[in-house]
Structure 1
Amino acid sequence: MDIARLLLQDLLKKYESSKAFTSPGPVQRRVQLNVYKGEFKPYDIEDYERKVHIHQVISQLRDEQLIDYTWMRGEEQHILHRIWLKIERVDAAYDRAGLVSPKAEAGRVLAEIDIAWTDFQHAEEEGTTDSIAWIGTVLADMRRVLSERQRLTSPLPTSREQALKLVAALRGLIALSLSGQQEMPERVFSIQIYGDSKAFAQQVRTRLASLIRRYLLPGLLGHPAERLDDLDLSEDELLGLVNLSRSPEIFEWSGPLTLMRCGRQLDYGFFPLCGTLSAAELNGLSIELPAQVQRILFVENRTNFYWLMQQRTQNEDWQDTLLIYHGGCFSPARGHFFHQVQKAAEHASASRAEPVTVYHWGDIDLGGFFMFSRLQHSFFPQLKPWHMDCHDLLSNISQAQPISRAYAERLQALLVDERFAVFHDVIKIALERGIRLEQEALLGK
């Protein structure tokens, strides 16, 4: 048993939880162990040989100016009372104990954060920080926490290695923003940042997704993070918000659409059932709506999109409708595609007596309302909900799902938010009945 190491570890652990650890100046209160009261477990006054050995060890540590101590009154050289750390020699105590100071670990990570901050400022100078403003907030929080706490703690991992990898990922996202690239495969990102195609997925992915949920999502949806806890978003969806994907994102629609680039055009009316486009093909692309398209319907859920796609091909009443798979919390790349649809709808409406009407079909719940609001405020101010009203909720109440008290409180908050005024009536019913409804419940009706 290495008594010296055990003793210093106990003292340093106490030091790290004391005011002395974070205070920039001297602190009068000692960082000490009351040995007589059993705060150093190996010390047993009934075990003479061990006691003598410990006395020899602490004498040596005092000679090294790492600690000091006192004896019980009347038991000098026989029974220890208190042992305390010499704060002015704390770095030497860490070395002697074979430990790395949390301050030293924090300092190394802070140095990398400062480099990332310089990258972010460069992006600001280039005018490309709109999409990565959240990273500036993350870095500021990390710097503040390290300065105040002098240790690795949230929003950083407690492991120095993992913290450095996370900061490296943030630097990679800043570089991706500066490059103007719409989308990057995760494995390519991992190789570029870590020199290993699997390092990101194995060690960083989950932590970065957590930061995105905490720092980016509230800004996108216009609500504080605690109100978004019930949004069921996968890591894939969250990472898609920063242009990282496992594979190229594919956009899907059903209905006539003309794609144009460099004076050439492609008529997707040739594909009566479904058209698709890779995010990799977005650059330089524009969209035109044929005259027959009178309305556009965004469908949040893929199952519902496929069901409507079949209905469209079998029903003449749907031939004037362009169906677009929405996909939930859309990525910047999908947002770019939606923006092209927006411009096409505006161009078509300008030359017609009746404008193109745009609808959104989503769940009758927090997520559905948030997705509608984001699509409306990002691209389509006149957006209308489709099958998301009181009648739809009540007529399918047998398939509704119960909501928790916390969920109801988050739903209640939308009633004082005018951005969700179109849903206030259905929200009131959802609260009265304590339910929510997924859009799949309406299939076949």
Structure 2
Amino acid sequence: MKYQTWILEKLIEKFESRKKSSGNMRKVAFQMQDESALSQELEHAEEKEQFLAALDLLKQKGLIDYSWVRFEKDNIVERVWLVLDEEKVRESYRVLARIPKGDIICVLRESLINSINQMKPLDNEIQSFFKKQLEQMEQSSSIPRFFTDKIEPNEDLIRCLVYLSQNNQEVQERVLSSLLYNDSKYFERKVKGKVLSVLKAINKGKGEELSDEELLREKGVVKWPEILEFTGRLAVLFKQGELMDFSVLTYGAYINSLMVEMVDKVCLYRIKKVIFIENKANYVWYITQEKKEEELVVYHGGCYSPIKGRWFKKICEACIQDGEQIKFYHWSDIDVGGFRIFSRLKTEIVSSLIPFRMDIETLEKNRDKGMPMNEHYRMLLVEMINDCRYEEFKFLIERMIELNIRLEQEQLLY
């Protein structure tokens, strides 16, 4: 059986390669003299006998044919070729328990189209990713690198990506796995790596390297409930009617993501300023060294999840009270990632957001602590200059390019 499978696999691979490159199907064959590893194996009489028997059986089934070296009939095979009758080729696929690549491409194309159509036509990165894969398939008539030549793994990946594109809740990995695949460990074993490959490709070119955990968390997928940290005169009224006051925890308070769903509203007391801080070290430093009584300081954490976004919104809603004007600030790195994080928070959560220590003066004072930029990074900044989403940083970006530096916010602590 091993030689039957080897022979057919060899010929079908050549068949698909020929079909993809030129479509010329006059002959799909391999020369025995080119198969050195096989030739060595066939030096053993028993192996040679099994190989010739496999050839004979496949020829009887009408799937292949072969020729002998001149004057070596029944001894040395010269060439083996595939019978190109359509039904015989399909029978070869059936013997291998393999689906023709053309059929896989058709199924994949249909799955991508159906998935695109069921998504909301918003600024959806995963939907755009699917469209790009479709375009590549149309141009090359081949399976894109993120997918395989097997239908089931492709369907598993697409199912998960569609879910992530629509998800606005927090879901633990094993819960997600049970929901989509009826197996709590299937996602981690079979799908997670492929999903991360796609998310990394989508994120590529944004100028920031996100960890696997951050990429999944942004889509609401976590291993365990997320911890949401803050410090200031804040209380939470839960839907059960219980009021919890966190204001006494002057060196940091928190709730977890499960509690967010139970929050009726957030209450603030004599708060004039809300500061979102991206980096944990800066958050801890600020609340221990600089925080004022009238400030609420919120640990942002970079790529926030859907549930964390809802927590941020509840805080901002609480600030609309008694007609008092509360100012919102955000502190991130002075770099591409920091500008993107600021822009997302401003666009999705609080439109009046103001940069905090993300200005030319801060850059100039700490230029000796700045990190040099490569040409690709500089080009990302050049693109940002004329992008209205980064209007607040136009002159700062121009100065960064002049100095050829970017500045991490942790550098300001020393």
Same fold at TM > 0.5 = yes
Q: What does residue 260 of structure 1 align with?
A: 237
1:189 to 176, 181, 185: 176
**Cα distance in structure 2, aligned partners of 1:358 and 1:296:** 5
- Residue 14 of structure 1 contacts residue 31 of structure 1 at CA under 8 Å; is this kept in 2? yes
- Residue 389 of structure 1 contacts residue 426 of structure 1 at CA under 8 Å; is this kept in 2? yes
Opposite residue 340 of structure 1, the aligned amino acid is K
1:396 to 366, 377, 384: 366
1:435 to 373, 388, 405: 405
The structure-2 alpha-carbon separation of the partners of 1:184 and 1:320, relative to structure 1 and needing over 3 Å to count, comes to same
After TM superposition, give the deviation of residue 323 of structure 1 in Å. Answer: 0.7
The structure-2 alpha-carbon separation of the partners of 1:331 and 1:363, relative to structure 1 and needing over 3 Å to count, comes to same
- Residue 369 of structure 1 contacts residue 420 of structure 1 at CA under 8 Å; is this kept in 2? yes
1:338 to 306, 309, 312: 312
Q: What does residue 197 of structure 2 align with?
A: 210
Q: What does residue 156 of structure 1 align with?
A: 147
**Cα distance in structure 2, aligned partners of 1:395 and 1:226:** 31
Q: What does residue 221 of structure 1 align with?
A: none
The structure-2 alpha-carbon separation of the partners of 1:77 and 1:281, relative to structure 1 and needing over 3 Å to count, comes to same
1:199 to 186, 197, 200: 186
Instruction: Show structure 1 runs of 5+ residues with no match.
Output: 216-224
Find the residue that maps to 1:430 and give its secondary structure: helix
Task: Name which of structure 1's ranges 158-167 and 264-273 shifts more when overlaid on structure 2.
Answer: 158-167
Size of the alignment, in residue pairs? 404
The structure-2 alpha-carbon separation of the partners of 1:357 and 1:130, relative to structure 1 and needing over 3 Å to count, comes to farther
The structure-2 alpha-carbon separation of the partners of 1:29 and 1:398, relative to structure 1 and needing over 3 Å to count, comes to farther
After TM superposition, give the deviation of residue 22 of structure 1 in Å. Answer: 10
2:282 to 277, 281, 304: 304
Task: Name which of structure 1's ranges 130-139 and 280-289 shifts more when overlaid on structure 2.
Answer: 130-139
The structure-2 alpha-carbon separation of the partners of 1:398 and 1:84, relative to structure 1 and needing over 3 Å to count, comes to same
Find the residue that maps to 1:285 and give its secondary structure: strand
**Cα distance in structure 1, aligned partners of 2:326 and 2:31:** 79
After TM superposition, give the deviation of residue 192 of structure 1 in Å. Answer: 3.9
- Residue 93 of structure 2 contacts residue 100 of structure 2 at CA under 8 Å; is this kept in 1? no
Q: What does residue 92 of structure 2 align with?
A: 93
- Residue 67 of structure 2 contacts residue 80 of structure 2 at CA under 8 Å; is this kept in 1? yes
After TM superposition, give the deviation of residue 304 of structure 1 in Å. Answer: 0.3
**Cα distance in structure 1, aligned partners of 2:314 and 2:56:** 77
**Cα distance in structure 1, aligned partners of 2:59 and 2:189:** 46
Give yes or no for the alignment of 1:12 onto 2:4. Answer: no
**Cα distance in structure 2, aligned partners of 1:367 and 1:319:** 30
Task: Name which of structure 1's ranges 369-378 and 134-143 shifts more when overlaid on structure 2.
Answer: 134-143
Find the residue that maps to 2:236 and give its secondary structure: strand
Find the residue that maps to 2:297 and give its secondary structure: strand
Opposite residue 385 of structure 1, the aligned amino acid is P
Instruction: Show structure 2 runs of 5+ residues with no match.
Output: none
Find the residue that maps to 2:358 and give its secondary structure: coil
Find the residue that maps to 1:12 and give its secondary structure: helix
- Residue 170 of structure 2 contacts residue 305 of structure 2 at CA under 8 Å; is this kept in 1? no
Q: What does residue 286 of structure 1 align with?
A: 265
Opposite residue 223 of structure 2, the aligned amino acid is R
**CA RMSD in angstroms, aligned pairs only:** 4.0
Find the residue that maps to 1:227 and give its secondary structure: coil
The structure-2 alpha-carbon separation of the partners of 1:171 and 1:132, relative to structure 1 and needing over 3 Å to count, comes to farther
**Cα deviations by residue, 1:49-107 (Å, 9 ceiling, x for unpaired):** 999998887676444332356789x98979987654223221222345x4624539837
- Residue 252 of structure 1 contacts residue 324 of structure 1 at CA under 8 Å; is this kept in 2? yes
**Cα distance in structure 1, aligned partners of 2:54 and 2:178:** 50
Q: What does residue 323 of structure 2 align with?
A: 351
The structure-2 alpha-carbon separation of the partners of 1:418 and 1:136, relative to structure 1 and needing over 3 Å to count, comes to closer
**Cα distance in structure 2, aligned partners of 1:421 and 1:168:** 38
**Cα distance in structure 1, aligned partners of 2:326 and 2:284:** 22
- Residue 16 of structure 2 contacts residue 101 of structure 2 at CA under 8 Å; is this kept in 1? no
After TM superposition, give the deviation of residue 161 of structure 1 in Å. Answer: 5.8
Give yes or no for the alignment of 1:249 onto 2:226. Answer: yes
**Cα deviations by residue, 1:209-259 (Å, 9 ceiling, x for unpaired):** 3333445xxxxxxxxx5422x312111111112221111111111111132
**Cα distance in structure 2, aligned partners of 1:143 and 1:265:** 52
Find the residue that maps to 1:232 and give its secondary structure: coil
Identical-pair percentage: 28
**Cα distance in structure 1, aligned partners of 2:123 and 2:378:** 32
After TM superposition, give the deviation of residue 328 of structure 1 in Å. Answer: 0.3
Q: What does residue 376 of structure 1 align with?
A: 346
Q: What does residue 276 of structure 1 align with?
A: 254
TM-score by length of 1: 0.75
Find the residue that maps to 2:230 and give its secondary structure: strand
Find the residue that maps to 2:247 and give its secondary structure: helix
Find the residue that maps to 1:18 and give its secondary structure: helix
